[in-house]
Structure 1
Amino acid sequence: MTRFLDLVHPAAGTALISEWLTGTAERSRTAADAVIDEWAAAETPSGRLAQHVFLSTDGASLLFYAQWTSDEDHLTWARAHRADVVSRIDALVPGIERPGLHRTRLHRSVMHDAVHPSGIFAVSTTAAVDVKDVAGPAPGLLAAHIHLTSGDERAIVFTEWADAASHDETTDDSTSFKRYTLHHSFLQGGDGTSLRNTDGTGRL
């Protein structure tokens, strides 16, 4: 399965993380596929470098991870186009809840195993000073990718695990997280050409 750093664009100035709560696996997949169709049909916005969609393992939600050259470029596109895109998705899958958008930057990645494929991604939010508690090392933890929110007070951490069992063995009930698999990925080259347009397995 795709590793997280395969999804990272080196020119990204901002990483946007947002969740859609759909309620069921069928609604999640329908919404995800509709978003993918929107991306494929539209001209790539100026400033958007990468866009990835993850499905939660419990089937109840989607996670979007987008990289843009800047927040300003994203806001320019969002003001002009986001409402139309969302309305078309909502016509297919009514009642999606959208808790909000986190504007972050990838602060650093902690690699424990760069060879083995990721079985799952786990995403958690913590105080920036507590990042070491989720970044490992731990059995089955392949890597942790630390994103800081504006002001550097909170961290959203993507961890890569060999499998769900490894994550279960090292996570206690006090830890809040969601687990995901990659559903689809778009990554643009510097000249606007597509470097990556794949499903979660890395297939074209």
Structure 2
Amino acid sequence: MSEWLTGTAERSRTAADAVMDQWAAAETPSGRLAQHVFLSTDGAGLLFYAQWTSDEDHLAWARAHRARAVSHIDTLVPGIERPGLARTRLTRSVVHDAERPAGVFVVSTMAVDDVKAAVVPASGLLAAHVHLTSDGERAMVVAEWTDVASHAAATADGDSYKRYTLYHA
């Protein structure tokens, strides 16, 4: 997972469009299983979620292709901040409702001991996917909610979360 901070919704969409165009034009790397772009609901950035067969496959692609891809996007959208990559492993998913589509994705970073509370059924929580960081100290939970209002109602500090919607070009 990697976040890009763009500052505005327009800059976020321009960067997302450029990434999607690059993916469509390039051959899919053999080790990449899936890759998704999410727009933050506040318009300030993007979240990239990629699944690879191994860290080595991702690193090989990054060494060979990342600089060229990022430089093209930086030309279109200068000044993007990239706080860093979070390398994780999906450890479990809890699905409460597989029928309804997610309206918003909430990404939370927490201590491993706090994960249990993040996957408990709540009105509007469709699923929660728990990823452990490489050091095993933290968990990143990607929760699928019906909408922002459901998430805010279910959490005491509902406004302090980063929320994203899946980007479709």
Q: TM-score, normalised by structure 2?
A: 0.95
**Partners of 2:31 and 2:91 in 1: how far apart?**
20
Task: State the partner residue of 2:132.
Answer: 148
Look up the equivalent residue of 1:128 and give its one-letter code.
Answer: V
Alignment of 1:8-23 (within 5 A): 17-23=1-7
Alpha-carbon spacing, 1:110–1:56, altered in 2? closer, same or farther (3 Å): same
**Which structure's residues are more often helix, by fraction?**
2
| Aligned alpha-carbon RMSD (Å) | 1.3
CA distance in 2, matches of 1:63, 1:23: 13
Q: Is the aligned partner of 1:182 residue 2:166?
A: yes
> What number of residue pairs does the alignment pair up?
169
What's the CA shift for 1:18? 0.3
1:109: which partner in 2? 93
Does the residue aligned with 1:38 lie in a helix, a strand or coil? helix
Query: What is the aligned partner in structure 1 of residue 18 from structure 2?
Result: 34
Using the TM superposition, give the Cα deviation of residue 46 of structure 1 relative to its aligned residue in structure 2, in angstroms. 2.1
2:44 aligned partner: 60
Deviates more, 1:92-101 or 1:156-165: 156-165
Aligned-pair identity (%): 75
Residue 164 of structure 1: which of 148, 161, 166 is its match? Answer: 148
Change (3 A) 1:175 1:57: closer
Which consecutive unaligned segments of at least 5 residues does structure 2 have? none
Counterpart residue number, 2:31: 47
Q: TM-score, normalised by structure 1?
A: 0.80
The CA deviation at 1:149 is 0.6
Consecutive unaligned residues of structure 1, counting only runs of 5 or more, are: 1-16, 185-198, 200-204
Q: Look up the equivalent residue of 1:111 and give its one-letter code.
A: V
Aligned to 1:14: none
Superposed, 1:74-89 pairs within 5 Å as: 74-89=58-73
Deviating above 4 A after TM superposition, structure 1's stretches of 4 or more consecutive aligned residues are none
After alignment, is 53-62 or 43-52 more displaced?
43-52
Is contact 2:152–2:159 with CA below 8 Å preserved after alignment? no
1:120-174 deviations in whole A, cap 9, x for unaligned? 1111100111101211211111111100111221100011111111111111228
- Offset, 1:177: 2.0
